């Protein structure tokens, strides 16, 4: 057993493993499935919302690689590898792309080392660090070896900030990471939205996470609160919108906002 495997806590659910369960993956434990089912009982569309969040990530990365010419990616809160990960989407367009994944769950590290393979021209690596302590991300050896922060980088904060319930901690984490980026960089962000849900769904979810730490920390935020994370940056059209509508591949089969409940945005750092 590796050091990372011995550190894996199977007694409490983890957001990365629960997300993997919703996406139909195999890298989760009974505690994660139990938590995932309880969340799904409070918000039945959660599995669809998880898939749409992945689709938003993939569309955003395609935009960054093909249209914006970004070749460096810092994907924070990446979760467990599934299909069409950030490096696969980026390197399919630009094989020399360099990607650093960041997560705080040892099981992600174990699987990432085995599954996150790169093109020969590019680089894909993983750093174990915590978004609530952005200094651990910026000081990570993998980041400093692989990414040149003097050149544009895409910072991906996809479905991760809502796991930082303290508004000040979340805001400071984004501020520090964005401050470290060179002009010409981008931020991709998605976040659970309190104001897209109907009152009954919102109250069920809030009540469930208010019951204690069984499901881990979680904090939905309204559009204005989410917009504050990218204040001072230029929003790429169509701006901060429900994730399923951000540059959707088709107008058909787009679910109502309250069936997804997440906002997404891509923002540009000009200065």
Structural domain of residue 101, as residue ranges? 46-194+220-269
Q: Residues 67, 78, 140, CA angle at the centre, nearest 5°? A: 95
19 lies in some domain: no
Q: How far apart are CA 150 and CA 182, in angstroms?
A: 5
Q: How far apart are CA 127 and CA 133, in angstroms?
A: 13
Q: pLDDT (tens digit, 9 = 90+) per residue, 122-171?
A: 898 989 899 999 999 999 999 999 999 999 999 999 999 999 999 999 99
Q: How confident is the model at residue 2 (pLDDT cuts 50, 70, 90)?
A: very low
Measured from the Cβ of residue 166, the count of other Cβ atoms closer than 10 Å reads: 12
Angle, CA of 97, 102 and 108, to the nearest 5°: 110
Backbone angles phi, psi at 259, to 5 degrees: -95, -5
Tell me how many degrees the CA angle 102-104-107 measures, rounded to the nearest 5.
Answer: 100
Whether 242 maps to a domain, the answer reads yes
Across 10-24, 33-47, 201-215, 255-269, least confident range: 201-215
Return the DSSP state at 248: -
Residue 155 resides in a domain:
yes
Answer yes or no: is 9 within a domain.
no
The answer to whether residue 39 is domain-embedded is no
pLDDT of residue 6: 41
DSSP, res 67: I
Structurally, the chain folds into a number of domains equal to: 1
Query: pTM, whole model, 2 decimals?
Result: 0.89
Question: Does some domain include residue 26?
Answer: no
CATH number at residue 136: 3.40.50.150
For 244-263, the pLDDT digits (tens) are 999 998 765 678 888 899 99
pLDDT tens, position by position, 173-202: 999 999 999 999 999 999 999 999 989 888
141 assigned to some structural domain: yes
Q: Which residues contact 114 (CB under 8 A, 6 or more apart)?
A: none
Asked whether residue 251 is assigned to any structural domain, the reply reads yes
């Amino acid at each position: 057993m590796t050091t990372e495997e011995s550190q894996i806590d199977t007694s409490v659910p983890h957001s990365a493993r629960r997300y993997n369960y919703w996406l139909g993956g195999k890298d989760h434990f009974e505690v994660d499935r139990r938590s995932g089912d309880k969340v799904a009982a409070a918000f039945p569309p959660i599995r669809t919302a998880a898939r749409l969040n992945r689709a938003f990530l993939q569309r955003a990365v395609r935009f960054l690689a093909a249209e914006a010419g970004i070749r460096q990616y810092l994907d924070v809160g990446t979760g467990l590898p599934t299909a069409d990960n950030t490096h696969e989407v980026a390197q399919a367009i630009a094989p020399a792309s360099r990607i650093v994944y960041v997560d705080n769950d040892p099981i992600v590290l174990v699987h990432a080392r085995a599954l996150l393979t790169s093109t020969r021209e590019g680089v894909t690596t993983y750093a174990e660090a915590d978004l609530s302590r952005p200094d651990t991300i910026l000081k990570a050896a993998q980041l400093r070896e692989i990414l040149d922060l003097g050149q544009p980088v895409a910072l991906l904060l996809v479905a991760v900030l809502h796991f930082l319930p303290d508004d000040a901690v979340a805001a400071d984490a984004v501020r520090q990471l964005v401050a470290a980026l060179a002009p010409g960089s981008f931020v991709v962000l998605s976040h659970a939205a309190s104001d897209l849900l109907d009152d009954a769904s919102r109250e069920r979810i809030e009540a469930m996470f208010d019951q204690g730490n069984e499901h881990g920390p979680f904090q939905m935020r309204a559009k204005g609160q989410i917009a504050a994370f990218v204040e001072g940056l230029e929003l790429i059209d169509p701006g901060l919108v429900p994730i399923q509508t951000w540059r959707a591949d088709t107008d058909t089969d787009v679910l109502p906002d309250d069936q997804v409940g997440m906002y997404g945005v891509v923002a540009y750092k000009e200065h």
